[in-house]
Amino acid sequence: MKILDNPAKDTWKKHLARPVFKTKEINKIVKPILRKVKRNGDKALLKFALEYDHVELDSLFPSEQEIQAASAAISAELKDAINVAKTNIERFHMAQATPELVDEVMPGVVCRRKSVPIQKVGLYIPGGTAPLFSTVLMLGIPAVLAGCKEIVLCTPPNKEGKIHPAILYTANLIGINKIVKVGGAQAIAAMTFGTDSVPKVDKIFGPGNQFVTAAKQTATKYGVAIDMPAGPSEVLVYADDTAIPAFVAADLLSQAEHGVDSQVILVTDSEKFAQRVIKEIDAQLEDLPRKDLAKKALSNSRAVIIDEMETALELINFYAPEHLIISVEKEDEAVAGIYNAGSVFVGNFTPESAGDYASGTNHTLPTYGYARNYSGVSLDSFLKKMTYQKISPEGLKNLGPTIEVMAENELLQAHKNAVTIRLKHLKNQKK
């Protein structure tokens, strides 16, 4: 991990640059996959399972026996952990529900706004180097709470043609029964265009590798919404001497182990503290099963020394991290100064892992600087806000002249006439 000592602001972009996607090369692979799935449907999915997952599937769906076997394969300890996480995530996301808004903005003019579930949603759950059954909770629970009519879950099979039992168990636990054995860009294609087995959806959610990300971005060109643009996972830790170096190192490594293109950043006011954290990273790294991935990710990572809190907060907001951990003495001041971050973890005893699994917040968050303009997944992600208005005859008399003047001045005579004809009708009724 390279140490930067109070870098000039005009160098921040260079020093904090994320790993760059080779977009053209990726799209050269992804676009033909989308075309083949659009044209050949399930046949293409089965072919890609053989090509990429190295398995010949008899069916794209898990059997009832597979679902039951998955439950038996999960330890009681893991089931208990999943249930605790499920309870917390359900509670926090249920609390996000808002009542219907009704307001009579002027006499006779009533406006309403209410939440309506997106009818068909697709959830992509990675199952490669790390089977993310936690993402089933993070995406499936708000989809169920929102009342989405159809929920499709796609996840890649292993070489035996099976879905990881924890993914299958968790999906079944929260009531998702449309589970498809398909991964990668081909899964996104299937949910974008629809096949005999996979319904076309209205919105696609979920993390994935660079090919999945590219496929999701392409899906938006075909009228399918996505949760957010995404890049590799990342964390920024803002810490001072009141933080515990071993904790900071563990948090940095927890993101570095996601993959070689992950990025972790330490911001601190003390080079001595940074050195202590780096020493801890080196010690903890050796015990990690995924240490080779983490080592490569650390090559993209930085420890930045910033003397003044004001400047440190400016740098953090500039970077706009997916995960932000704040472990400084003046934590309230630091928290109040943050406006660009996916999710914030406050204090020495709030590891980023808590949000990844079980605290209740959602771990599907904007990466690659998109925290400047995107929110993480929430209950609202699965809802649309629809507005309604009802105007009484008296209300139209009150509001109508305003509309007529505005429409006339925009040279939209038909808009004006739609009001005028009604006002004349009401006037004639009185005669």
Question: Among residues 93, 164, 323, 363, which one is catalytic?
Answer: 323
The answer on whether 389 is annotated among ligand-binding residues is: no
Is 235 in a helix, a strand, or coil? Answer: strand
Q: How far apart are CA 63 and CA 61, in angstroms?
A: 6
Catalytic residue among 257, 322, 352, 363: 322
Q: Is 96 annotated among the ligand-binding residues?
A: no
* Residue 410 counted as an annotated binding residue: yes
- Residue 258 known to bind ligand: yes
* CB atoms closer than 10 angstroms to residue 337: 16
Tell me phi and psi for residue 105, to 5 degrees: -70, -25
Closest CA to 206 of 290, 134, 262: 134
Separation in Å, CA 39 to CA 248, 276, 383: 50, 56, 31
Strands (E), 32-136: 101-106, 109-117, 120-124
Q: Is 234 a catalytic residue?
A: no
Residue 58 annotated as binding site: no
Q: Which residues contact 302 (CB under 8 A, 6 or more apart)?
A: 1, 2, 3, 4, 15, 16, 265, 266
For the question of residue 314 being annotated catalytic, the response is no
> What are the DSSP calls for 62-88, one per residue?
--HHHHHHHHHHS-HHHHHHHHHHHHH
Residue 116: closest CA among 141, 144, 148, 91: 148
- Say if strands 109-117 and 120-124 run parallel, antiparallel, or are unpaired: unpaired
Buried-exposed string 214-224: b where 16+ CB fall within 10 A, e elsewhere: bbbbbbeeeeb
Q: In what order do the strands lie in the sheet with 178-181?
A: 178-181, 150-155, 120-124, 203-205, 225-226
352 appears as a binding residue in the annotation: no
**Both tokens assigned to 272:** 């001595």
Please check if 15 is assigned to a binding site: no
Place of tokens 């808002």: 98
Phi, psi (5° rounding) for residue 120? Answer: -130, 120
Q: Is 363 annotated as a binding residue?
A: no
Q: How far is CA 78 from CA 71, 133, 393, in A?
A: 11, 11, 62
Among 265, 205, 200, which residue's Cα sits nearest to residue 238?
265
* Dist. CA 76–CA 138, nearest whole Å: 21
Does the annotation place 425 within a ligand binding site? no
- Whole-number Å distance between alpha carbons of 58 and 161: 9
Residue 301 DSSP symbol = -
Q: Consult the annotation and say whether 158 binds a ligand.
A: no
Binding residues for Zn(2+): 255, 258, 356, 415
Binding residues: 124, 186, 209, 233, 255, 258, 323, 356, 410, 415
Q: Active-site residues: which are they?
A: 322-323
Binding residues for substrate: 233, 255, 258, 323, 356, 410, 415
